[in-house]
Amino acid sequence: MEKADIIYDFADGDELELEAIMNQYSRPLLRYCHNVLCNYHDAQDALQLTFLKAYGKRSYFKAGAPLSPWLYRIAYTTCIDMMRKKKRAFILPVSKQQTQVDDGYIPENIRAALMTLSASDRALVFGRVMEEKSYEELSEIHGKSAAALRKRYERARKKLLTTLKDDYPHYTKLEESK
């Protein structure tokens, strides 16, 4: 099944189309969710929810429109909602909190650096740096203007680098020697 066909059929499709879409998008969306949530098991849950929501709301998907921003928008809101629920859980007594398990896939220094950013900013930096999305594409995912995202990205990047530069001194020295 060709990519264009999948997109065209999705609004009226069934599990066949969903499966094709999952095969195509699960890998990049899992990485996206993992880098936003900083927890692999949560990212798996977010990925499942993303596809379930996309399937449940497929009739609202415009036939012929690009599928990727729509799926990323769903993944983004799913991750943000999951983070909010986690925050609320911390208000509960310790005995009722779910234990935060380190998934072991993110080195501790990197996790610490990423956690200085909000989940929304983590999504923004990952989308911009690793997926090379334009601000216009990111605007569709985040539901904010491209200009506002540009400013936010610059701030988030600076914040992240302040923490990271100690871990990557060779890059700093390279820059200084120029």
Partner 1 sequence: MNKNDDKIIHEMYKNIETPEYDVTKDVLKRIKNVPRKNIALRRVLIIAAVLCLVAAALGAVELIGWQSFNLFGKRVENENITASTPIPPNMQNADPFTEQDNLFVSDSQLGESRLVVLEGGSGGTSGIGSYDSGDLNAIAAYVNNASSPLLLPSYIPDGYVFTKGKVELYLDVKSLDSELVSSEVKDGKIYEIYKLPEGYDKKIRAVTLNYLGENGEKLRYQIMLSYALNENTAFSHGAPESAEAEQIKILGFDEAIMIHDGEKSNFYLNIAVLYKEIPEINAVFSLVFALHPSENMPHFSEEAYIETYSAFIVSIKTESLSVEELIKIAESIN
**Contact residues: partner 1, CB under 8 A:** 2, 5, 8-9, 11-19, 22-23, 26-27, 30-31, 34-35, 40, 43-44, 47-48, 51-52, 55, 57, 60-65, 70, 73, 77, 80-81, 84, 105-107, 110, 113, 125-126, 129-130, 140, 142-145, 157, 160-161, 164-165, 167-168, 171-172, 174-175
Locus of tokens 């036939």: 63
Give the 3-state secondary structure of 123-171. Answer: HHHHHHHCCCCCHHHHHHHHCCCHHHHHHHHHHHHHHHHHHHCCCCHHH
Minimal distance in Å, beta carbon 148 to partner 1?
8
> In terms of CB distance, is 85 or 96 closer to partner 1?
85
Of 27 and 155, nearer to partner 1 (C-beta) is 27
Closest CB to partner 1 among residues 95, 177: 177
Shortest Cβ 94–partner 1 spacing (Å): 26
Q: Do residues 36 and 76 make contact, with C-beta atoms less than 8 angstroms apart?
A: yes
Distance CA 4, CA 59 (A): 17
Nearer to partner 1, 90 or 168 (CB): 168
Tell me how far, at minimum, the Cβ of 92 lies from partner 1, in Å.
20
Q: Quick check: 55 and 18 in contact, CB under 8 A?
A: yes
Let me know: does 76 contact 149? Beta carbons within 8 Å.
no
Two structure tokens written together for 3: 């990519």
